[in-house]
Amino acid sequence: MRDMILLKQGEIVLKGLNRRAFEQKLLGNIQRRLRPFGPFRVHCIQSTVYVEPQADESDMDAAFDAMTKVFGVVSVSRAAACEKDKDAIFRCAREYLAGAMAEARSFKVETKRSDKRFPMTSIQLSQYVGGLLAEAFPEVKVDVHNPELTVHLEVRDYAAYVHAAPTPGAGGMPVGSNGSAVTLLSGGIDSPVSTYMIAKRGVRMIPVHFFSFPYTSELAKEKVIQLTQLLTDWCGRMTLEIVPFTHIQEEIRAKCPEEYFTLIIRRFMMRIAHRVARSNGCGALVTGENLGQVASQTMEAMAVTEAVTDLPVLRPLVGLDKEEIVRYARRIGTFDTSVLPYEDCCTVFTPRHPRTRPRLGEVEEAEAALDVEALVEEAFAGIERLRLEPGREPELR
């Protein structure tokens, strides 16, 4: 009996001739996530990924938790492997699930037999093992309709496997399988969730944060670094690009009409994010904008801000309400950090009466007082880059 982890693929199984490329991306992501927890062997057969510890010091509990956050996996099971013999399978189930059986009041057995050479059908093996388990644990009744515990048996090419109910995985597609994008990451609730949601579609994320010291503090910067670190559990390794934004905001305050402050600030963010995207081969920008949530997120305002880039702007939260976004933030573990009371640059020089129905020509006219290209170049040249990975301290690049 060998303890291991079984991972079931999701959407990858629907792919055609390019399926192998998606599987290779998934396996690479899994191997990187497992490195902090000891040596593991990772291989894929019949849409199932097998994670086998290769040493006593391999941390199976930590590895299991990490695997529930790998995009491309729909279920995760802690399992035991044994030889493909009906009595060996029963003994494995009796020993491996003894604790779970002792705590349950009812159980049933379900079998999947992908190796059709095995001499018993799925129903026959379920009945055989279920009958012996009922004798071994007489206090636990059989209930095939509503059991507290389901004993899962899988008979595959090289071995049989026993496990209890699988834990839901992260779903989605393997990170890196659908290109790269720049995500505008503030210290709020929304942008970490939008980053998570696009990463779930297989996109490698490059977070960009705009930092306006001394109007925003070092604590605010550390908060964003912490949020990025939390997101690496889902998105994998990322490089956080921290853009010095103070001079741009001061120039806007000094030379532009107050009612356009926020719109012009957002346009500069889009320009710089576009520049970062082009320098990293990215195909899109990602924002946490939500239709109608604030003055700069009306349809007219969003059209004005995205007019400075020819890249698609992905807004996964655009139709959600705040409660839905908060639920996502709690689920992915970013909410408590997002609500820490440190300001970000979006709250600096907020106009008293912002334009909610701006016209592009009016905003461009207001911007004409600025040396846009020089300001963008100065900010881009001053970017600080931090490399972040799950379980490791940030490193300057």
Span 66-73, average pLDDT: 98
pLDDT exceeds cutoff 90 at 352: no
Please say whether the beta carbons of 199 and 232 come within 8 A. no
Q: Provide the token pair at 249.
A: 């905001």
Rg from Cα positions in the chain: 26
Token pair recorded at residue 21: 């490329």
| pLDDT higher than 80, residue 373 | yes
Backbone angles phi, psi at 75, to 5 degrees: -150, 150
Ordered structural domains, the chain, with CATH? 2-170 (3.30.2130.30), 180-396 (3.40.50.620)
| CA atoms of 242 and 185, how far apart (whole Å) | 10
Phi, psi of 395 (to 5 degrees): -125, 135
Q: Say whether pLDDT at 329 is over 70.
A: yes
Mean pLDDT of 54-83: 96
- Confidence class of residue 93 from pLDDT cuts 50, 70 and 90? very high
User: Would you tell me how many other CB atoms lie within 10 Å of the CB of residue 318?
Assistant: 17
Task: Say what percent of the chain tops pLDDT 70.
Answer: 99
Pair type for strands 149-155 and 106-113 = parallel
pTM given for the model: 0.92
Residue 342 pLDDT > 90 = no
pLDDT tens by residue, 108-149: 999 999 999 999 999 999 999 999 999 999 999 999 999 999
Query: What is the model's pLDDT at position 371?
Result: 97
382 pLDDT above the threshold of 80:
yes
pLDDT above 70 for 151 = yes
User: What is the rounded distance in angstroms from the CA atom of residue 132 to the CA atom of residue 151?
Assistant: 13
Instruction: Give one DSSP letter per residue of 133-159, joined into a string.
Output: HHHH-TTSEE-SSS-SEEEEEEE-SS-
The band of 49, judged by pLDDT with boundaries at 50, 70 and 90, is: very high
pLDDT at residue 348 is higher than 80: no
Is a pLDDT exceeding 70 seen at residue 345?
no
Q: Does position 346 have pLDDT exceeding 70, yes or no?
A: no
**Whole-number pLDDT of residue 258:** 92
Q: What are phi and psi of 306, to 5 degrees?
A: -85, -5
> Residue 316: what pLDDT?
97
Separation of alpha carbons 390 and 238, rounded Å: 9
Number of CB atoms found within 10 A of residue 218's CB: 11
pLDDT for residue 278 is more than 90: yes
Measured CA to CA, the distance from residue 300 to residue 366 in angstroms comes to 16
The mean of the pLDDT values for the chain is 94
| Residue 341 backbone phi and psi in degrees, to 5 | -80, 55
- Over residues 285-308, the pLDDT tens digits come to 999 999 988 877 899 999 999 999
